[in-house]
A and B are shown apart, each in its own frame.
Chain A
Amino acid sequence: MTMTLVRRPGLAKVRTKRAPLYVASLVFAGVVVLLALLAPWIQPYDPNIADLGNALAPPSGDHLFGVDAAGRDTFSRLVAGARTSLLGPLGVVVFSTVLGAAVGVAAGWRGGWLDSVLSRGSELTLAFPGLLLAILIVSVYGEGLLAPVVALSVAYFPYVSRLTRSLVLAERARPYVAAYQVQGHSGLQICVRHVVPNIAPVVLAQSTVNFGYALIDLAGLSFLGLGVPALTPDWGRMVFDGKSAIQSGYPLSAIIPCLAIVLTVVAFNVVGERWADKVAGRTR
């Protein structure tokens, strides 16, 4: 579930004309991150305390978003769940960006066998959708957060490295690189001091969009019961837990985390694509 920004079938219009959507997205993403950071101080109840007598209670002054089927406060679980739900994608983005950028820079700068290995490898990984690879790995390792994060990082890194490689190739062709080479600077120096800072904004914009997709994939795993362990508060897991209550007409405890997922993903996508546009406008 990744869409590379190189082609950007896009939102140019909404992003430029409808700045309000961008501002709203930025604010929303900021609020979600803040909630995740301050969760222990914000959550009104222990997210794992079950009050079965109060199960499936509707929203009230005591329970802002009601209570789930196991009698746990939905708002507290939502706030606590923001931590796991953001931490996983963050891990995927950090791993895949660092790995992808390193491999991409090396392949773009050095070319040769490294480059052909990379293109073979990304062809293989592109055939392996992230979610499928994660399911395969989880079915070997068992549930948990680390295995799917590693699997998704592996699935996402070719997207980053291909983007980085193409950017490095373009950067390398620019006259200043030759100028530095003539002056006797080493390839590594030029790479680290000039090329990497120049391409970083584009790569980071792509990674911001990838964050949204990683969130989708990880939430999907949790929804299948394959992600985080059973009691951990997590948005995908909350949808999984609230699934059966829907059938009996109590959809709220599943719908609330659904909305949180959609809004967060949309916010990160809009922000990432906007950044990519800005960067593209500046460098072209």
Chain B
Amino acid sequence: MNFLRFAVRRLLEMAVTLLGASFVVFGAMYLAPGNPASFLLGGRSASPAALEAIEKQYHLDDPFIVQYWRWLGNIAHGDFGRSLEYRTDVSDLLSSRLPTTLLLVGMALVIVVALGLALGWLSAVRGGAVDSGILVGTTFAVGTPSFVAAILLQGFFAVELGWFPSSGSGSGDGLGAMLWHLTLPAIALALYLVGLLARVTRSAMLEALEGEHVTVARSRGVPERHIISRHVFRNALGAVLTTAGLIVSTLMVCTVLVESAFSVGGIGQLLELASTTKDFPTVQAICLIIIGLFMTVNLIVDLLLPLVDPRIKLGTRAAS
């Protein structure tokens, strides 16, 4: 199958799954007890103007499927509706907060990739006490929820030692201030995934180390460090890459915990505020963004995998 056809097919599959997800996100509203209008008002004063706005936005008199279709059409045009809590367009809310979250997630991603790969590599190559130590460490990393990491880091490095600010994102004071403010949140966000990636890297590298081609490379006098990079790590890369989607979506979802622990004004904190205040259009928008991001990353991984591993024909990953 040629690349273009495969890309188009995957894109269509992604569209179908996204459609299903959006259906769940939209339909969840109808699970609420009581009628949708009062749910959407979420206990806010039901002035006639507000009621009218909701009626107009959601066309609640129309059949369900028509409402859904209209809602979907608006989203396709970048219109996520109006926030009832903030009385502004959801898309404006998102675009003002997205940069902070992307910076935070970006920092965490750098930590995850650098530390996760390095620890997994060390663990697989060194063995012995180093391996055992890293394994115990990753066991605890994988068992530590990001909000627990956030609380512990905040209590120690921000409040006790005062090395880092304990809250806020430092936005408005330049990039340097933001990096400084977001360091602890990024570490908290990264911890679980560092453990996960280290374990995936370790086991994939151990599997590759067993390969006969590693012995062959040794028999030909290839220096050991080249064997590890060219034959062991290189061969583990495919397994590592397939975790990318999970890593990015976990990072995005966990910003809700970490941003609220550190009072960072990003998408995650917005999701927390929106769900406690029943600001449903905002919750819907953030859900869709996170799911869309997860699926986009997975699509990119699927397209990249055959380049990383020529044994994988396009689109045969589904079985994993």
Residues of A within 8 A of B (CB): 1, 3, 7-11, 13-14, 17-18, 21, 120, 123-124, 127-129, 131-132, 135-142, 212, 216, 219-220, 223-226, 236, 239, 242-243, 246-247, 249, 251, 254-255, 258, 261-263, 265-266, 269-270
Contact = CB atoms under 8 A, between A and B. Distances in A.
Interface residues of B, number: 61
B249 interface: yes
A246 B135 contact: no
7 A-B pairs with least C-beta separation: A266-B143, A139-B275, A251-B155, A265-B143, A9-B199, A9-B203, A9-B200
Contacts of A247: 159, 166-167
B283 A127 contact: no
Interface in B27-61: 28-29, 31-33, 39
Interface string B125-157: 000000110011001101111111001101100
Interface class of chain A by DSSP:
helix
Contact of A9 (B147, B202, B250): B202
Contact of B260 (A7, A138, A224): A224
A128 B151 contact: no
B256 A129 contact: no
A143 to B, nearest CB: 8
29 contacts: A9-B196, A9-B204, A14-B132, A17-B132, A124-B17, A127-B17, A127-B21, A128-B21, A129-B249, A129-B250, A129-B253, A131-B253, A135-B256, A137-B31, A138-B275, A140-B280, A141-B31, A212-B143, A216-B145, A223-B147, A224-B272, A226-B272, A239-B151, A258-B148, A262-B143, A262-B144, A269-B139, A269-B142, A269-B143
A13 B135 contact: yes
Given A21-B139, A223-B257, A263-B143, 14 more contacts: A7-B203, A14-B136, A18-B136, A135-B256, A136-B275, A139-B274, A220-B147, A223-B147, A225-B276, A242-B151, A247-B166, A247-B167, A258-B148, A269-B139
Interface stretch (B62-70, B91-99, B101-109, B288-296): B288-296
Contacts of A216: 143, 145
Nearest to A166: B319
B33, B250, B287, most chain A CB atoms within 10 A: B287
